[in-house]
Chains A and B, each alone.
Chain A
Amino acid sequence: MIFELAWRNSWRQPRRTILSSLAIAFTSAFLIFMPSLQNGSYAAMVENTLRLFDGYAEIQQSGYRDNPEIRNSFSIPDDLIRQLKDLKHVNVISQRAVSFALVASEQRSFGAQIVGVQSNSEPMVSTIPGNIKHGRFLSTDVNNENTGEIVLGDVLAKNLKVNIGDKITLLGNGRDGSLAVDSLTVVGIFSTGISAMDRLMAEIPLQRFQQTFSMQQQVHSIILSGEDIFSFQQAIKPIRTLANKYNLVALDWQQLQPGLMKGILLDMSTSLPLYVAMVLVVTFSLLNSVFMSVLERTREFGVLLSLGMRPSNIAKMVWIETLILIVSGLILGIVFGYALTEYYAHIGIHFEEAEEIFSEFGLPSAMYPQLNWFTLLMGPGIIGLCILISTIFPVMRIYKMQPVPAMRAV
């Protein structure tokens, strides 16, 4: 009976009920869409940053991260690669060696970071091989891995004034302190959009690197990658254990890109005040609405009380009226928010003008919101809860009402 009363009461003022529900719906939809958008952009940022070069995890000699010296290399234990391959979620394993060296063309010379890579597995851990703008990536022919090929960043190539097919000389220090000299042919020029990489980086076959820099069979890092970063995270623990067994260390993505996680936290915490303010505004406006609906019915409640209805039943009625508002608003908001988010998750939100910003942050120029149960229900849940809590105040009014004065109220 009380539910029926509450339902009918809601439709005595259809405009108010609809407006209140719409306010809840609008806010819920916004609080579904925005966090999903952030969620999607964080995921894209993490994926893009890691896929560019770092991989999802790296195994190194302990101390290499703080001191990336050519001496901090290690020989790969026989069983390590096989054991890594057996781990679930680890799909790709690639080895690298890194050193700074002077690269010189006929006219120019610059310092560059030379990376020795395994040309067959490198394209699966890094997007640099896929970002070759001219020429091709290092040849994957295993027998040919010793060839003197080099790919370099477009800014570096421009600065060196070299093109595909040109020879460049490499001059550096080998692992044993000897002079490392090599002559290589430019086969490809890549462009990642990250200026530090395009300006400073060059990749050569790992075996060639090991020869030139007197590394014997040693490397500086083993790069691991998988399906996606979230499922891969489950493999981190066994990777750590395995690395420790051989006196090596494994770095996860947060250690590889310490700024990334902090950046995400910072972005979350700057958007938080906005969300809090929105929830507050919608709570206040609903509080107002419920308060009014109680106060304007003082006379009516007085009559109900004098007819013998208990205050708790009237309170129950008001609670149900509020619940009707909240539930209808939330359902509407969740449906609308879900549809909106899914729509944009499908077609993407394009920022053509801001492409430069996005590429600096490691984002593509389109963003895809990512919906999950958390972003779908978190915002609406908080809104519903806040409104419910605020309804305590108007309900308290009911308990204070005395039948006779209430009936006399205008």
Chain B
Amino acid sequence: MEKLRLFIALSWRNLWRNYRRTLITFSSIGVAVWAMIVLAALMDAWAMSTFNASINTLTGHAQIHAEQYLQDPNIEYRINMPDEQQIKLLNSEIVKAWSVRVRVPAIVQSERENAPLMLVGINPQTEKNLSFIADSITEGKYLDNENSPGILLGKKLAKRLRTEINKRVVILSQGPDGDIKERGFRVTGIYEVEQEDTETQYAFVSLNKAQRMLMMNNSISEISFVLNDLNALDDFLNRYKTLNDQQNIKQDIKSWSELEPFTLALLDMTSGTIALLTVIMFILVAFGLVNTLLMAVYERTREFGLLQALGMKPTYILFMILIESTFLVGIGVIVGSILSLTTIGYFSSGLDLGALAEGSTMFGAGRVMYPEINWLQSGIIALFVWFMGIVTSLYPAWRASREVPVETINKAY
């Protein structure tokens, strides 16, 4: 213990004997760690933005459909409203929000134009907490209740149809009997979202009006929900499946990762890229580190010889150098981490992509990124650099410990 204290004091002072070298090394490690953590956080924010955009656009954390609906989103494939026991499960505490929907392909006609879209019948109250619709109305208002007679259109679609608030549009869609059903709706709200595709893809009406128009009684196309904690999803889906099995109900229960494989792949790719960049960055840091430590060792050969002549064991010298590099890398890592956490903290209230936003919405993400401090990930990056830094310094330390006392003391400068 006493020895350890001595080593620590020795190493610490050694570091500051050449403060310039130490500071430059800190800076280089610091910049590397800073860049890695900030980039990782930005990439995560990017991936999360894509994830949230896709969850928010009707997907939810999971959806329940009739078995063939997903392959063929048609009115033929319907499910019943959730029964008492299913409702009990959906109302349990871990579910943040759930809602039922009718979702069928349809055609919308204005006086001037027509366009294909998905007609979505929603329950305005429960839908509010589940998806983007209620928060995205920019003109007119959201639907009041399950019986509201209005229709909500996306801004881009409204423009294409040359229609506006209070004008009427006609919706055409196939009923369960195969006949085309038709009904007029008054446009009561216009919604605007970042993904322009969404604006032309969906029109929203109240659930009851949709059911009545399509003559589908009380059946629905899907149940969608979000949980408070995404980690509880698998467990919850299993409970739902068990419940269905007990009652012999056949339904297709799919989590977001199955519904949106594209988003899942993007998330996977992001974490892979972060790992790869961390390694590449580290290799670069390692070059500088080995160089610095080797130099530090070489210019001190005389000193090591002297120490050994005075009776210091070679292993102790090795140990001393290792402690030195622990400090050297460690302080760089700590400074870099603090800097990066400050940077991320600074942008956590939202990093507006401004002029580049159109590009980000093309990739399915939002226009504002919210980088978050990911303690685990930042910690792993920091510890990885620290640990690998010490491993890298083994070679110079080993060189130092192998100096032969007499030869090195006599070494002429």
CA distance A360 to B18 in the complex (A): 54
Q: Which residues of B contact A285 (CB under 8 A)?
A: 28, 284-285, 287-289, 291-292
Say if the beta carbon of A315 comes within 8 Å of chain B: no
Prevailing SS type, chain A contact patch: helix
Q: What distance in Å separates the Cβ of B346 from its nearest Cβ neighbour in chain A?
A: 14
Number of interface residues of A (CB under 8 A): 69
What is the distance, in angstroms, from B277's C-beta to the closest C-beta of chain A? 7
Q: Which chain B residues lie closer than 8 Å to A66 at the CB level? A: 159
- B284 contacts which chain A residues (CB < 8 A)? 23, 26-27, 278, 281-282, 285
Segment of B107-115, B141-149, B227-235 in the binding face? B107-115
Interface membership of chain A positions 9-26, coded 1 if the CB is closer than 8 angstroms to chain B and 0 otherwise: 000010110011011001
B259 part of interface (Cβ distance < 8 Å): no
**What is the CB-to-nearest-CB distance from B10 to chain A, in angstroms, rounded to a whole number?**
18
* A111:B106 contact, CB within 8 angstroms: yes
**A291, B295: Cα distance in complex, Å:** 11
Q: Tell me the residues in window 341-379 of chain B with beta carbons closer than 8 Å to chain A beta carbons.
A: 353, 355-364
Judge whether A357 is part of the interface by a CB distance below 8 angstroms: yes
Contacts of A109 in B (CB 8 A): 174, 180
Residues B18 and A13 in contact, CB atoms below 8 Å apart: no
Binds A, one of B31-39, B246-254, B306-314, B402-410: B31-39
A190 contacts the other chain (Cβ, under 8 Å)? no
Interface residues in A273-295 by Cβ distance below 8 A to B read: 273-274, 276-278, 280-282, 284-289, 291-293, 295
Partner of A270, one of B42, B197, B269: B42
Chain A residues contacting B25 (CB-CB under 8 Å) are 284, 288
1/0 per residue, CB under 8 A from A, across B170-202: the answer is: 001010001010000000000000000100000
Take A19-B291, A262-B359 as given contacts and tell me if A273 and B74 are in contact as well, using a CB distance cutoff of 8 Å. no
In the bound complex, CA of A276 to CA of B34 (Å): 12
Q: Is the CB of B295 within 8 A of A200?
A: no
Provide the bound-state CA to CA distance between A293 and B20, in Å: 13
B261 touches A356 (CB 8 A): yes
Partner of B288, one of A262, A274, A288, A360: A288
Decide if A108 touches B174 in the complex (CB within 8 Å). yes
Q: In the bound complex, how far is the Cα of B268 from the Cα of A353, in angstroms?
A: 10
Name the prevailing secondary structure of the B interface residues. helix
B291 in contact with A361 (CB, 8 Å): no
The verdict on B16 contacting chain A, using a C-beta distance below 8 Å, is no
> Interface centre among A22, A285, A295, A410, by most B CB within 10 Å?
A285
Chain A residues with CB under 8 A of B24: 284, 287-288, 291
Per the 8 Å Cβ criterion, residues 159-211 of A in contact with B are 159, 172-173, 196, 200
Interface centre among A13, A22, A270, A276 (most CB of B within 10 A): A270
Residues of B with C-beta under 8 A to A261: 359
A-B contact pairs, 24 of them (CB 8 A): A102-B107, A108-B174, A110-B105, A158-B71, A159-B73, A159-B74, A159-B105, A200-B116, A262-B356, A265-B356, A274-B39, A277-B35, A280-B31, A280-B35, A281-B281, A285-B289, A291-B20, A291-B21, A292-B292, A293-B295, A296-B295, A299-B413, A354-B265, A361-B363
The 10 closest A-B pairs by CB, nearest first: A111-B116, A285-B288, A277-B35, A262-B359, A284-B28, A259-B362, A23-B287, A263-B359, A266-B359, A111-B107
6 additional contacts (CB under 8 A) given A16-B295, A69-B112: A26-B284, A67-B160, A102-B107, A263-B363, A266-B359, A285-B28
Residues of A in contact with B (beta carbons under 8 Å apart): 13, 15-16, 19-20, 22-23, 26-27, 30, 66-69, 100-102, 107-113, 158-159, 172-173, 196, 200, 258-267, 269-270, 273-274, 276-278, 280-282, 284-289, 291-293, 295-296, 299, 353-354, 356-357, 360-361, 410
User: Which residues of B are in contact with A by a Cβ distance under 8 Å?
Assistant: 18, 20-21, 24-25, 27-28, 31-32, 34-36, 38-39, 42-43, 46, 71-74, 105-107, 112-117, 159-160, 162, 172, 174, 178, 180, 197, 261-262, 265-266, 269, 277, 280-281, 283-285, 287-292, 294-295, 298-299, 353, 355-364, 413
